[in-house]
Amino acid sequence: MPKNLKLLASIAIWPALAFPAFSAEDSAKEAEIIIIGAHTPIPAAEVTAAISVIDGADMQALGTVFTADALRSVPGISVNRSGPAGALTQVRLRGSEANHVLVLIDGIEATNPFSGAFSFATLPADGVSRIEVLRGEQSALWGSDAIGGVINIVTTPSKTGNALGGFAEYGSFNTLRTGANAQTSFGKTRLFGNLSYGDSDGYDVSATGGDKDGYDNLTLHGGFDTPLGAFADFKARTRFTRAHSEFDADTDFDGRLNDAPLSLLQNQFDALAQINAQSLDGQLNHVLKTTYTTTEDVNGTSRSNGFRTQGSYQLDGHWNTGTITHNVSLLGEGEREIYKNNGGVGAFQNQKQRNTSTALAADYRLVSGPLVLNASARRDTHSLFANANTWRVGGAYGFAAIGGRLRASAGQGIKNPGFFELFGFFPAFFTGNPNLKAERSTGYELGWDQDFGTATVSISGYRSRLKNEIFTDFGVFPATARNRTGISHRKGIEVEGEWTVSKSLRLNGSTTFQRTTQNTVREIRRPKLLASASLYWQNPDQPFGASLGADHNGAMMDTDFGTFSTITLKAYTLVHGTINFDLNEQIQLYVRGDNLLNEKYSDVFGFAGQKRGVYGGIRAHF
């Protein structure tokens, strides 16, 4: 596909967004509640940083299978998958590293305690009702990992009442997917649950004509909410994932993939229990929360485990002085992480480590008509590495006469060293560095949100500086982790918008121009250009519907480990879509396709991207 045509297909939506007439009406986004914009859920109009929301219904309409694929539509996000669906998948936000993104699932920090990053390869989109992406440094609000931003994944159904549903699908690569969901309410108590299973033969990721590298994934999640008297309520959430993926590796250490019968088994269990209680006058709210996460990765004879227990108490208060509303949140948090590594009887890497930490944080927000000001501060103390202070400030002002809003924010993000970086030990390959410092980033953002009545557009510009970047030094033997002495610079411009053309047709899209350098050298797997466009057509008076999406990933640098030289991975555009037909109000048939143009591409050097796939399925909802 010609390069210019790729670009045109990806960003053609933007000229169309300029034509709708101005309107002073409040947009739907302004009335939307954002969970992660502050310590408490707040209206989108009070969030002073760039925020994007993906609706679960849109993911289903586009035939999205993995959550990471939905994130390609968010400005600033690049996705790197090492081969077929279910393979190692990394998500980078605003040019940060993959482990610089904090991932929350239903209020639970879902990052693997052992690896320090979240495994997006294990997260199907089935049962996800909403995704929020808060961009920029957010550690003053959410602690470690929030350098590039925070991704909040919600599985609570968007509608209440009684419901039962399911789906079944089969298609290319001998792929079978199925799932079921249910929810019920009695009084003010609500229960829900979701189960999904996927299995695929995949293909040979090394492209040498060897055996296929497939995957299977079983995910269950659910929860319930119930009142505790007139002024308190209790909620619980739990999630279990078992993911098994096959992969190829460089078994002869020449820097090239070899066909090999290797596999990785990943198990993760998350749980949350939370009590919310209000004062009689409604001005104070108490939140008591505890979460638990355990992970297990099994690769041959090597096994790694991570355990995280968190507990927190939060006090929220609000009051008015004239036309000004003041909101304050105070947070106290404690956390314990345990890391285990076992390579078999007598293996050198066998060890167990632990880290305990505490945090105190405060968040203040002032709202006076169209003006919003906020400030946050946090102090983290750790048993393994240095304590850290972080801050964040922001402001926004709405111009009702033209439907616009100006916003600006600045803040800091930190990423604590992970277990492997600190203590990893493989005598012939790698040894950890217990003297590593935490990575620290300071960023600034300026943005404008414009409402045209039938369309909205948001533009954000940002600039960040990362210190103490952790890297693997292959210049020594064995290799080890170190902090860089220079500064990593990240800057970019992000544009996103949505246009409701008619009651049947809706368009949305995004474009990102970014540059990430370390000592003036471009960092790997950060394309200069990212773009995405989606079209949704569904006439409420007709049984047919269709959706089409295109995600463009610009050329990017990567490392050829055969020669330890830098190479360029070519740009590509992935086109995907779905056609559906409603047999009646309960039953729907659909056909979906991935990589419809059969683009030949690679997200990671040496790993072949997935070819065209076509799948057919049935959904039922009662």
Angle ∠(446,56,539) on CA atoms, nearest 5: 105
CB atoms inside a 10 Å sphere around CB 115: 19
CA distance 583 to 585: 7
Least Cα distance to 574 among 202, 67, 66, 69 occurs for 69
Residue-wise pLDDT for 425-450, tens only, equals: 777 788 889 999 999 999 999 999 99
pLDDT given at position 218? 97
CA distance 578 to 286: 45
pLDDT given at position 31? 64
For residue 189, what are the β-bridge partners?
186
Torsional sign, CA 67, 146, 378, 36? negative
Would you say residue 3 has pLDDT above 60?
no
Query: Do residues 571 and 600 make contact, with C-beta atoms less than 8 angstroms apart?
Result: no
Cα torsion at 520, 467, 75, 512 (round to 10°)? -20
Residue-wise pLDDT for 29-79, tens only, equals: 446 889 999 999 999 999 999 999 999 999 999 999 999 999 999 999 999
Least Cα distance to 58 among 49, 67, 50 occurs for 67
CA distance 15 to 511: 12
Residue range 456-472: average pLDDT?
A: 95
Q: Does residue 141 or residue 258 have the better pLDDT?
A: 141
CATH fold group of domain 3-621: Maltoporin; Chain A (2.40.170)
Longest dimension (CA), the chain: 73
Mean pLDDT of the chain: 90
pLDDT given at position 515? 95
Q: Which residue has the tokens 């059969």?
A: 598
pLDDT given at position 9? 38
DSSP codes of every residue in 419-460: HHHHH-EETTTEE--TTPPPEEEEEEEEEEEEE-SSEEEEEE
CA distances from 104 to 143, 327, 467 (A): 12, 23, 25
Tokens representing residue 65 in the block = 């299978």
Please give the share of the chain, as a percent, with pLDDT higher than 90: 74
Would you say residue 207 has pLDDT above 50?
yes
pTM for the predicted model, two decimal places? 0.92
Please give the share of the chain, as a percent, with pLDDT higher than 70: 95
pLDDT given at position 572? 96
CA distance 312 to 315: 10
Residue range 334-357: average pLDDT?
A: 89
Would you say residue 563 has pLDDT above 70?
yes
Q: How confident is the model at residue 614 (pLDDT cuts 50, 70, 90)?
A: very high
Would you say residue 20 has pLDDT above 50?
no
Query: Do residues 475 and 422 make contact, with C-beta atoms less than 8 angstroms apart?
Result: no
Domain residues of the chain, as ranges? 3-621
Would you say residue 584 has pLDDT above 90?
yes
Residue-wise pLDDT for 294-335, tens only, equals: 999 998 888 999 999 999 999 999 999 999 999 999 999 999
pLDDT given at position 21? 35
